[in-house]
Structure 1
Amino acid sequence: MYSSRIIGLIVAAGYSSRMGTFKPLMPLGEKKVIETAVDSLRLGGINDIRVIVGYRAAELYPVLERLPVSIIENPNYASGMFSSIVAGVRALAAEAEAFMMLPGDTPLIRSSSIKELIKKYRQTGAAVVYPTFNGQRGHPPVISDKCFASILNGDGAGGLRHILEQFAADSVVVPVADQGVLMDMDTMDDYQQLAKFYAKRNIPTYDECLALLDKYQTGDKVLRHGQTVAAVAQQLVDLLNGAGLKLNSELVVAGGLLHDLAKGKPNHPRRGGRLVTSNGFSALAGIVAAHMDLELTAEQAIDEAAVLFLADKLVQGDRRVSLNERFNLPLAKFSENPEILAAVLRRQQTAEIIRDRITGLVGIGSLEKLVLR
């Protein structure tokens, strides 16, 4: 699907002076930072990946030689990052139609973002294609061969940004639900934030949820409903975790925000589950797919899917309601349709079972009164 003539260029030649330690070889999960950066491009469909080295190159070689990458040495790395980009473009210019430029300290790019950037480049043929998150441009841009001569002839003043500004009229942006496009690691605090983000990368942040809702144009009603469901779900998780359970709060809140991501489409719960998976949030798929109909056995523990199911049934529109109020309208509306009525009654019964089990677990008189308060 993706041309080998779009080359991935990872810049890992700098001093890491602000960090105080060599960034490319810092651990990130079970891998090094540089390995994670390579994975980001490779999983997004970039087959030809080249890493520019300079400072402490001898320490990088043993790691890079195990990876499916080529190595470009920049003997002028002391001159700054632009010199590394020039070295990279000089090495690939004869064979590439474009390159995707990724700083080695911005390693957490979702594969879905890489694919969207390449798709937009293929559609437009733009000189530069930038990813954006919350309206801010990030990495990695796709830079076409229209820019190569200007880069090679540049004097370095203003860096790559100054060169690319000359092509502003022939540039496009791609909004992505990917906070990682803005996350670099110049300082130890940046690194610690990046490590926390990496540990929970299969669950979207609140802002990533909003970006997904915007991407699929769900509308204000779905947003307000999701925000209220997320708030109720958070309240239920807090109660349960206070009683000794260990439920994932971030997972439930994200599920509340995104459970109606595919609202209005056929079988929207399953479709929503597929959408979140395709955007890199596989941990969320199950609870989104089960938010409307949930199979609950007597032995099954209360989990995040059960919490989201109940929270959704305690909200009508953007109002908190009792289960009776929530189900009165559909029960009356479908009273003459036995098949749909049976489904509504089944959902009501499941919600009541979950409510009663949570009430017993947390030891309160009325869960609904607490939620409605």
Structure 2
Amino acid sequence: MQRFIQVRAGRENGPGKIVGLVVAAGYSSRMGDFKPLLPLGEKTVIETAVTSLRQGGISDIRVVAGHRAAELRPVLELHQVDIIENLDYAQGMFSSVVTGLKTFAGKADAFLLLPGDCPLIRRYTIRQLVQAYRRLAPAVAYPVFNGLRGHPPLISGRCYGSILTDPGAAGLRGILDRFAADAVEVNVADQGVALDIDTPDDYKQLQAFYARQEIPTADECLAMLHRYQADDRVMRHGQAVAEVGRRITGLLNQAGLNLSEELVVAGGLVHDLAKGNPNHSRRGERLITCMGFPALSGIIASHMDLEFTPEYVLDEAAVVFLADKLVQGDRIVSLSERFKPALTRFADSPEVISSVLQRQRTAEAIRDRIGSMLGISSFEAMVVN
């Protein structure tokens, strides 16, 4: 049984070079087109895979090419990577792993193995895997999302001999299974580890994920909450806030605004990510920033206190702020019902009462602005009911 760990990425500790090995030598037969050179945003799939490793802190990146290698070379030469040609690529992916590993087996302590058709790995995931290796020195560290292993595994030097001498009948998976007792699984909030391209439908899904990669998916948000051990109350509250925020966003967009429903839902789900910590909104902001979601981190930072002036342009942060104040626990309530318990509980604490009243006034101002835009005087009652 593999060890399962929670790793928070930070400063790397300990010596040891880690190589990023991208394998892109196959025929792409199921796809019907050459996967590495398919467009993904302003880059190709193979360029995006290289960029993912580099943004994760990996400087030595090597790409194994085979089928149509001559077409890959000019694209890869722009990215300062070592290009390794596997003349035996027809024998399958394992032959490419062996070909690549031979170039650094005596020079690197470990390597991240990334198939070229699995390009969208978040930099925080790479850092988590490296941290797991630095701290625990496993034979293999696997990224796991929603209970399923994905790419790229980080494979230590202890596996090199077996990989280089095995005939490969069981494939790389069969070899790594021998090291199962000394492997770790690293829980990551990264749906990209499970997204590769085998079919045109897979490619469409990858393109959609790429288009919104700066906003975590709902499943990624839930993985974040699990990783930081949010309790069931926080989870249920976040889901209710996300739903209210989604409804408000839909009404505003129908009225002509162009707000991101995905960003509002993500903000609703994880706004209390650091609940239970002092100044949890600021701590949550820092955690989300480290994960690489700057737009979301601003929403987390302002969900408790938002300076809503007459000049403020309604945005996703304002929607999440109001949605949060329309939910008590996991129940949708009026603003007066939401704030009444706090006003009663802290009646003898003038400073606290002042803060609570300011938040209530801000929520009412946002509510009134939205009602005015929609031409609905009873906007709050419509949401609550």
Q: Does TM, scored on the shorter chain, surpass 0.5?
A: yes
Matched to 1:297, the amino acid is T
Rounded Cα–Cα distance in structure 2 between residues aligned with 1:245 and 1:150: 59
SS at match of 2:381: helix
Matched to 1:264, the amino acid is G
TM-aligned CA deviation for residue 4 of structure 1: 6.0
Matched to 2:169, the amino acid is A
Matched to 1:351, the amino acid is A
Match of 2:7 in 1: none
Match of 1:32 in 2: 44
Q: Is the aligned partner of 1:58 residue 2:70?
A: yes
Tell me, yes or no, if the aligned pair for 2:16 and 2:109 is still in contact at 8 Å: no
1:196 to 167, 187, 208: 208
Post-superposition CA distance 1:269-317 (Å, at most 9, x none):
1211111121122220111110010011102221111111100000111
Match of 1:182 in 2: 194
Q: Is the aligned partner of 1:248 residue 2:260?
A: yes
Match of 2:225 in 1: 213
Matched to 2:29, the amino acid is S
2:160 to 144, 148, 157: 148
Unmatched tracts of structure 2, length 5 or more: 1-11
2:297 to 243, 260, 285: 285
2:111 to 91, 99, 119: 99
TM-aligned CA deviation for residue 158 of structure 1: 2.6
TM-aligned CA deviation for residue 267 of structure 1: 1.4
Q: How many residues align?
A: 373
* Stretches of 4+ aligned residues off by more than 3 angstroms: 1-4
2:279 to 258, 267, 280: 267
2:288 to 271, 276, 295: 276
Match of 1:71 in 2: 83
Match of 1:351 in 2: 363
Match of 1:124 in 2: 136
Post-superposition CA distance 1:132-183 (Å, at most 9, x none):
0000000000111111111112222231111111111111100100000000
Matched to 2:109, the amino acid is E
- The structure whose RCO (Cα within 8 Å, separation 6+) is larger is 2
TM-aligned CA deviation for residue 361 of structure 1: 1.4
Rounded Cα–Cα distance in structure 2 between residues aligned with 1:18 and 1:235: 40
TM-aligned CA deviation for residue 192 of structure 1: 1.1
Q: Is the aligned partner of 1:85 residue 2:85?
A: no
Matched to 1:83, the amino acid is S
SS at match of 1:262: coil
SS at match of 1:92: coil
Q: TM-score, normalised to structure 1's length?
A: 0.98
Rounded Cα–Cα distance in structure 1 between residues aligned with 2:257 and 2:131: 44
Matched to 1:125, the amino acid is A
Match of 2:55 in 1: 43
1:314 to 307, 313, 326: 326
Match of 2:18 in 1: 6
Rounded Cα–Cα distance in structure 2 between residues aligned with 1:173 and 1:111: 17
TM-aligned CA deviation for residue 336 of structure 1: 2.3
Tell me, yes or no, if the aligned pair for 1:203 and 1:281 is still in contact at 8 Å: yes
2:248 to 212, 227, 236: 236
Unmatched tracts of structure 1, length 5 or more: none
Rounded Cα–Cα distance in structure 2 between residues aligned with 1:4 and 1:122: 8
Rounded Cα–Cα distance in structure 2 between residues aligned with 1:126 and 1:301: 51
TM-aligned CA deviation for residue 365 of structure 1: 3.4
Tell me, yes or no, if the aligned pair for 1:4 and 1:48 is still in contact at 8 Å: no
Post-superposition CA distance 1:230-257 (Å, at most 9, x none):
1111111111112121111000000000
Rounded Cα–Cα distance in structure 2 between residues aligned with 1:326 and 1:56: 63
Post-superposition CA distance 1:38-85 (Å, at most 9, x none):
111111111111110111111111111111211111110111111000
2:350 to 335, 338, 344: 338
Rounded Cα–Cα distance in structure 2 between residues aligned with 1:41 and 1:26: 19
TM-aligned CA deviation for residue 216 of structure 1: 0.3
Is the deviation greater in 110-119 or in 61-70? 61-70
Q: CA RMSD in A?
A: 1.2
1:223 to 235, 239, 256: 235
Tell me, yes or no, if the aligned pair for 1:4 and 1:46 is still in contact at 8 Å: no
Rounded Cα–Cα distance in structure 2 between residues aligned with 1:68 and 1:122: 26
TM-aligned CA deviation for residue 90 of structure 1: 1.4
2:378 to 363, 366, 371: 366
Tell me, yes or no, if the aligned pair for 2:65 and 2:86 is still in contact at 8 Å: yes
Matched to 1:204, the amino acid is P
Match of 2:126 in 1: 114
TM-aligned CA deviation for residue 332 of structure 1: 2.1
SS at match of 2:103: helix
Matched to 1:126, the amino acid is P
Rounded Cα–Cα distance in structure 1 between residues aligned with 2:295 and 2:336: 31
Matched to 2:301, the amino acid is A
